[in-house]
Amino acid sequence: MDTTRTSEDQSARWNGPSGQVWTEFQAMMDEMFRDFEEILVEAAGPWGRVLDVGCGTGGTTVAIARRLGEKGHCTGVDISGPMVEAARARAEREHVRAEFVQADAQDHAFEPASFDTIVSRFGVMFFGDSVRAFTNLRHAAKDGARLRLIVWRGAEDNPFMTTAERAAAPLLPGIPARVPDAPGQFGFANRDRVHRILEESGWSGIGIQPIDVTCAFPESELTGYFTRFGPLGQVLPDADERTREQVVEAVRGAFAPYVRGTEVRFTAACWLVDARRNG
């Protein structure tokens, strides 16, 4: 999704254009990623204190808080001010008791040993120093606490995600390249690297399983989706009108295999990552 390397870059990105687009498309993204939300709600269980890392506009946080009711509490942490604001508004709108903190999860001073479960849906691939971040999260976890993450596998397993940039490349030079292992959408694609990061951060019982989930969204949202998200979304606004039109036509054509009537359907190839804090 991006090629920026430092936490500062990520903060600027998520407090800027990416935060804006995710906030704008929050309903669509939540619908599209509903199955992942359910996997994390199940992991959180029926009680306890839960932390949702990189919670964005709070879809998962609110779903977990609703499930916990009076038997627990869910906190969402996110580096993006606009997304945290949207998350708080959602919790209020839905009359759900959830707390949101705007902070860099990499080094935020969480209350030590305070969470029974730490979860994340696509929110942990953006740290400048992942070992530091997961060490910090381990300190926030109680002894025996569970960690459950959903992250993307590689671009080669997720051709849908790179369709737009591949189709637009001949018409639009300068689309940022995906850099392996750099912070961004595919930053945790390398299974061995994820295992190593968690091990070096002191987590135990590490399990990393592939999961393939069918996702869908309305076809009417397709152009908005590919013109606003990802590397193409970063550069398309700066193109002249003629180029923009050509790009939209070419990219829509390239997405044709994913269009089923009024829906766009694709497979999200992800890792389901589990670990424990032991001691």
Ligand X SMILES: C[S@@+](CC[C@H](N)C(=O)[O-])C[C@H]1O[C@@H](n2cnc3c(N)ncnc32)[C@H](O)[C@@H]1O
CB-neighbour burial class of residue 159 (10 A; exposed 0-12, middle 13-18, buried 19+): middle
Please say which residue, 133 or 172, places its beta carbon nearer to ligand X: 133
Please say which residue, 14 or 271, places its beta carbon nearer to ligand X: 14
Please say which residue, 81 or 144, places its beta carbon nearer to ligand X: 81
| Minimum distance, C-beta of residue 212 to ligand X, in the bound complex (Å) | 17
| Minimum distance, C-beta of residue 9 to ligand X, in the bound complex (Å) | 10
| Minimum distance, C-beta of residue 87 to ligand X, in the bound complex (Å) | 9
Please say which residue, 80 or 234, places its beta carbon nearer to ligand X: 80
| Minimum distance, C-beta of residue 261 to ligand X, in the bound complex (Å) | 26
Please say which residue, 68 or 247, places its beta carbon nearer to ligand X: 68
| Minimum distance, C-beta of residue 222 to ligand X, in the bound complex (Å) | 19
* CB crowding 66-101: b at 16 or more within 10 Å, else e: bbbeeebbbbbbbbbebbbbbbbebbeeeebebebe
Q: Which two tokens stand for residue 84?
A: 């945290």
| Minimum distance, C-beta of residue 104 to ligand X, in the bound complex (Å) | 4
Interface with ligand X (CB under 6 A)? 7, 10, 14, 22, 29, 33, 54-56, 59-60, 77-80, 83, 104-106, 121-123, 126-127
Q: Which two tokens stand for residue 186?
A: 């595919």
Please say which residue, 134 or 203, places its beta carbon nearer to ligand X: 134
Nearest Cα to 79, choosing from 169, 6, 173? 6
How many C-beta neighbours within 10 Å does residue 253 have? 10
Q: Give CA–CA dist 235/68, Å, rounded.
A: 42
CB-neighbour burial class of residue 132 (10 A; exposed 0-12, middle 13-18, buried 19+): middle
